[in-house]
Structure 1
């Protein structure tokens, strides 16, 4: 028999005991332990053994002996009739209903206590058992309705007043779910009609708090949403009233109540848009640098807040879209202003430019930055190449400018290839601008000349001649290693990289014939004077030029290197000949370089009165060479000669490394060595050396007015006059035994420079005429415009020619 106090486990409702069919002599069942019930004894009516016939279909009847004590229940073996003694004759239904009523009352009292934040009078376990009994009794629906009604009443009255008065924490939901968990797991879990307790509580709370009872009075939830927006505003304005924990919990509550998207998101986004518009309006009056920094910080804070306080991802995306549209798109004219961007680039503001690029990329308009970027490069580059007062620094300034732009692309523009392409387009534009020709009045590319001179400086002096700003940094070394190139930490590799940088500028030049002419002159001086810092660097540069411009461009340059090797072999043969003929050794060690006239630059012939001993050695070599090579003629270029002479001064002997002109002038003073007031006048030196004009002036100035003064000029001064006199500076001293006096051959005069440009321009005319004839012969008939266009196309690699010049050549 089931007692009302203990929950049945089979899910059925309670019922009275019924006769049991069971075999056995005596059977007893323990009654419920409740105090208001008595134990009932179940005794068999007879102790006699009653045999019973059992018949199973298909089998014969068999007799079952009931005298043996049973060991277990055996079906089909018959049963004894049981009689319940002392059985109550009154119905127990009333008792059960009283129990269920009492249980309902206890649950209602417990609910009220829970709502009042008090401990229920009954233990929670007994309350749980009561819920279970009611559910087994079939009162689940009734129990759910009662619970929902009481919760709704509590929410509308007590809790709502508490929320309005002062928000506080509560464990009401947890306690109720614990007490009614059996209802939740048994009846509500499989019910499609009713919500589970948690969902029901959330629905009631949402309906009570966030739905206004009257249209005129806002609900407590509306005030909560407004307060959450205020919290965000406090955070944006760095207000001390901001409570991060409260904002985080509030967002979580909205997610739990499932009203985040419907009630809060739109309100929050509208408030944010107003704030962004106010912020942009305030900051727009500031400089571009300040505006970029402010927008960058604002967007970073908004992104952090969305992640830190559990805002929905869709909210974050819409918030960022609004921020980009208001802060960036609406103020794109300010962000892309050429003048403001030019100032940032002049200041080399990497951080600001990176922030600007990132901001524009957020709205997908970073490509519009290319236009002010190109304008700045063209203007700044043109200012450098047109600065006639700093022509010697032109290439270094261009390379420093290019270096800063490369770093900007690498560190600020995320290595965007489009900005690299724009930079190259801008460089090509200002380097080949016609205004450059008018500024320098050379008629040909001044940039080509200066690039050739810069490469000459590198190949003569190495890395010590360039500023540190052009040297590789740590990131360049990393990039070089990743690309498989030689490490820039090595001096040779760094020099090779600097040559590559110069070659980058060379690629922009349309008129490469100017570069070729000046590079050829400088290479000749380096080879003849032995001034190359690295033979490997010379060969590397030649290979680069050949790869860039083809073998026709470097044919004469390669021949110059071959002539140097042939000259060394020729001098070895000459010395062997001298020893074989018994000429003997002379105090003068002569070294002659045989040059091919077609490959080397053209040098003027000068008349020089050389010392007799030197003249004898020259005649001997000329006799040897003409006998060996019939039909060849030697032309001596004394202006390129250099030698080492021994000199005696008051503080000791020295060896002077000088040019041939300087050596001839110094040897004249041997003639007046014994005279106490020995001096030579300007005119005497001119007659004794055969030099005159600028050549003599430059020679005397290098000996008497330079840094190393082995002669003394009277009167003192930096300029050489025809009335000056010169004496040996016997007080000359130098810590080195071999003293190198500034070699005038390495310095180019203005006349030589102008002559080179004129020669290049004249060669262009010849090339233009040759192209015209070549095109006319091949095409026979074509329009004048097409002929001009074809001539420009065929001659552009050597140098740009004006259409008017082409027209004149066509007429010729």
Structure 2
């Protein structure tokens, strides 16, 4: 009950015989007046001094009574609030009640401070604290009681304040939501029954649930309106909406758990309910528009939205992998083995797409990597097609590509090295690439910037042993220039023609064999060749030179029209020197040059205007194709030769002319022999280390050692083991034929 007839608050007069403790009835009356004053008017009179004058025994006796006084007074203050109006706007009354609660909360805090001497005794008697008791009574009387009507008023106010407006869908009344959230969170924090889980929090019942219900209705309507937009636009709108919702909830001082519960519901409305359309449009995110590539932002957004649902994540991964595989299959289906580098730019871009999608979707990285590797190896001969066209691509970039400035060469080599990383037959690539590199070195006399960048990348990826022979080829060319300069200085006289010799070692250039039927050199060329042989044999005793004249090139000064500089191969050079004396028949040219008919036709083709070359030679009989010439047909220099450029190259250095020189020159037999040697060496290394090993483990260890260069078939490894057994290096165990030991 509330004490209404208490005397005015203040300290009682002290008797002259010294201080005397305040007795129980007087103290209780003073405390009652203090409680009522602080909760109703906030009057902080000094009556709290009564508590300090009470004896400990009196304080213990007053604990329960003061608790009852606080509870009754708090209930009376709550009932004094005006009930919410019916069928009217609830925002105003809720604002007023929240403001009244803030005032009441402050006064309850001051009351708890004034009653602090009794507070510990009240708590020791298992009574609530003063401030917590006041707030709990307030919530029970006004918010949890259905008769008061304030609970429904709060729900209506939250729903009204949650309505969106404007193009950014901002909350209309953030201030109301902030006040309501703060009020309900303070009430729940002071309620011991809510903290113990014995009753649901008012924050969730009166604030979070109406907010979520009102917001879900808004976003459902927005999802249906945006359904006609494209998938990237829709995902961008959803991402922006989520960011705005998170910012609004933070601005409105929502509880941290609200966003964790609200975000999945929002994603369910905006993403899960639209999953069929979004997954159906996943392929369009890979090629959003003409000229564009992967829509990385949209894929990242869709992946972020899908990670909350494992089933949706799996379907997204399957959709992306299917779209990429379909594009790759179409790319290989349209590939022409003789079409130069047509497939390489598209394949490099496809690998870039795989990498970009992997960066957007970390969970897909392993599956995407395996998918791209399987694309190159699932069909027979597909990897060899990629290797051959990749080497043509390098050849084209090395001839017409960028210089070494500003990292342009490294940029041109980057896609090559990226594709090289997924190749299994790296030894095949090494063999084919060495042919094209040798062709360029013998013609240009130095490594092109792109070739140098490719070699550096291969060294980083595979080690120095992989590029040792390729680098030796470059050193041979550099040494040849020094050797030619030393020979010219030793001659002491200027030769009739300027000659540059290439001295190549058979270790680094196994693809070069000496000419079985060397061409007949005219005296201006034969004299410097004989002089160089004499000079070389004196300088390097014990070495033997084998000539490869058909691999050489020459530069001619043609006195036709304004004059031209012609770069030709050695057979073409000999043909032009013969025709400079006058027209000649095909039989005569073949006899004088001393080359077979296939070599003669290959040399005449560019000179007679094949493909893109200007026509320097013509046949008076009317033949325009070198392949159609007969033995008696005559060939002559065309006086009408007037190309636009003053320098013309007839030497087949372009990528399309490399088809018969580089990829096709590496036979499967030579490649298999090289692999067998590597397999046998790996077997011997393993057996020396283990001495005795099971066959299955031996095959696995050997495969792991050589898979950096190629992936052998288990049958190939077993055949190499059998050959080593026949040679007495290995021997099977007598009791167990699956166990081998090293003999040496």
Q: TM-score, normalised by structure 2?
A: 0.69
Equivalent position to 2:335, from 388, 407, 410: 388
Q: In 2, distance between residues paired with 1:148 and 1:571?
A: 110
The answer on whether the counterparts of 2:11 and 2:47 sit within 8 Å (CA) in structure 1 is no
What is the DSSP-based 3-state SS (H/G/I as helix, E as strand, rest coil) of the residue aligned with 1:748? helix
Counterpart residue number, 1:702: 606
Equivalent position to 1:576, from 480, 489, 496: 489
How many pairs are equivalent? 643
Cα gap change, 1:671/1:427 in structure 2, threshold over 3 Å: closer, same or farther? Answer: same
Give CA-to-partner distance per residue, 1:353-372, whole Å, 9 cap, x none: 11123224566999856666
Counterpart residue number, 2:555: 644
Counterpart residue number, 1:211: 145
Counterpart residue number, 1:446: 385
Equivalent position to 1:462, from 401, 413, 416: 401
Counterpart residue number, 2:638: 729
The answer on whether the counterparts of 2:159 and 2:211 sit within 8 Å (CA) in structure 1 is no
The answer on whether the counterparts of 2:340 and 2:393 sit within 8 Å (CA) in structure 1 is no
Q: Does 1:271 align with 2:213?
A: yes
Counterpart residue number, 1:72: none
What is the DSSP-based 3-state SS (H/G/I as helix, E as strand, rest coil) of the residue aligned with 1:701? helix
Q: In 2, distance between residues paired with 1:616 and 1:184?
A: 115
Q: In 2, distance between residues paired with 1:188 and 1:303?
A: 38
The answer on whether the counterparts of 1:514 and 1:760 sit within 8 Å (CA) in structure 2 is no
Question: Cα RMSD between the aligned structures?
Answer: 5.5
What is the DSSP-based 3-state SS (H/G/I as helix, E as strand, rest coil) of the residue aligned with 1:524? helix
Counterpart residue number, 1:588: 497
Q: In 1, distance between residues paired with 2:682 and 2:132?
A: 95
Q: In 2, distance between residues paired with 1:789 and 1:257?
A: 69
What is the DSSP-based 3-state SS (H/G/I as helix, E as strand, rest coil) of the residue aligned with 1:222? helix
Counterpart residue number, 1:398: 347
Cα gap change, 1:350/1:547 in structure 2, threshold over 3 Å: closer, same or farther? Answer: closer
Counterpart residue number, 1:554: 467
- Structure 2, unaligned stretches of length 5 or more? 1-6, 17-32, 51-65, 123-127, 189-200, 289-293, 727-744
Shift of 1:293: 4.4
Q: In 2, distance between residues paired with 1:530 and 1:241?
A: 72
1:250-265 equivalent positions in 2, closer than 5 A: 250-251=180-181, 254=184, 260-261=202-203, 263-265=205-207
Counterpart residue number, 1:92: none
Counterpart residue number, 2:301: 355
Cα gap change, 1:458/1:420 in structure 2, threshold over 3 Å: closer, same or farther? Answer: farther
Cα gap change, 1:294/1:691 in structure 2, threshold over 3 Å: closer, same or farther? Answer: same
Q: In 1, distance between residues paired with 2:715 and 2:108?
A: 102
The answer on whether the counterparts of 1:335 and 1:356 sit within 8 Å (CA) in structure 2 is no
What is the DSSP-based 3-state SS (H/G/I as helix, E as strand, rest coil) of the residue aligned with 1:658? strand
Equivalent position to 1:653, from 563, 579, 591: 563
Q: In 1, distance between residues paired with 2:138 and 2:696?
A: 88
Q: In 1, distance between residues paired with 2:364 and 2:98?
A: 61
Q: In 2, distance between residues paired with 1:260 and 1:612?
A: 109
Q: Does 1:748 align with 2:690?
A: no
Counterpart residue number, 1:119: none
Q: In 2, distance between residues paired with 1:501 and 1:545?
A: 12
Give CA-to-partner distance per residue, 1:420-452, whole Å, 9 cap, x none: 555443333333x14141x5xxxx733333333
Q: Does 1:767 align with 2:714?
A: no
Equivalent position to 2:589, from 673, 681, 685: 685
The answer on whether the counterparts of 1:385 and 1:436 sit within 8 Å (CA) in structure 2 is no
The answer on whether the counterparts of 1:712 and 1:726 sit within 8 Å (CA) in structure 2 is yes
Shift of 1:202: 10
Equivalent position to 2:371, from 392, 403, 426: 426
User: Which stretch has the larger CA shift, 501-510 or 238-247?
Assistant: 238-247
What is the DSSP-based 3-state SS (H/G/I as helix, E as strand, rest coil) of the residue aligned with 2:581? helix
Shift of 1:241: 11
User: Which stretch has the larger CA shift, 454-463 or 197-206?
Assistant: 197-206
Shift of 1:529: 0.8
Q: In 2, distance between residues paired with 1:569 and 1:408?
A: 51
Q: In 2, distance between residues paired with 1:593 and 1:351?
A: 54
Give CA-to-partner distance per residue, 1:450-505, whole Å, 9 cap, x none: 333333434433338xxxxxxxxxxxxxxxxxxxxxxxxx8353423543442232
Q: In 2, distance between residues paired with 1:780 and 1:188?
A: 87
Counterpart residue number, 1:89: none
Q: In 2, distance between residues paired with 1:647 and 1:436?
A: 49
Counterpart residue number, 1:160: 83
Q: In 1, distance between residues paired with 2:258 and 2:107?
A: 39
Q: In 1, distance between residues paired with 2:129 and 2:691?
A: 97
What is the DSSP-based 3-state SS (H/G/I as helix, E as strand, rest coil) of the residue aligned with 1:671? coil
Cα gap change, 1:364/1:785 in structure 2, threshold over 3 Å: closer, same or farther? Answer: closer
What is the DSSP-based 3-state SS (H/G/I as helix, E as strand, rest coil) of the residue aligned with 1:463? coil
Q: Does 1:665 align with 2:575?
A: yes
What is the DSSP-based 3-state SS (H/G/I as helix, E as strand, rest coil) of the residue aligned with 1:657? strand
The answer on whether the counterparts of 1:377 and 1:426 sit within 8 Å (CA) in structure 2 is no
Q: In 2, distance between residues paired with 1:680 and 1:636?
A: 27
The answer on whether the counterparts of 1:607 and 1:690 sit within 8 Å (CA) in structure 2 is yes
Q: TM-score, normalised by structure 1?
A: 0.64
Counterpart residue number, 1:25: none
What is the DSSP-based 3-state SS (H/G/I as helix, E as strand, rest coil) of the residue aligned with 1:655? strand
Equivalent position to 1:232, from 152, 162, 166: 162
What is the DSSP-based 3-state SS (H/G/I as helix, E as strand, rest coil) of the residue aligned with 1:644? strand
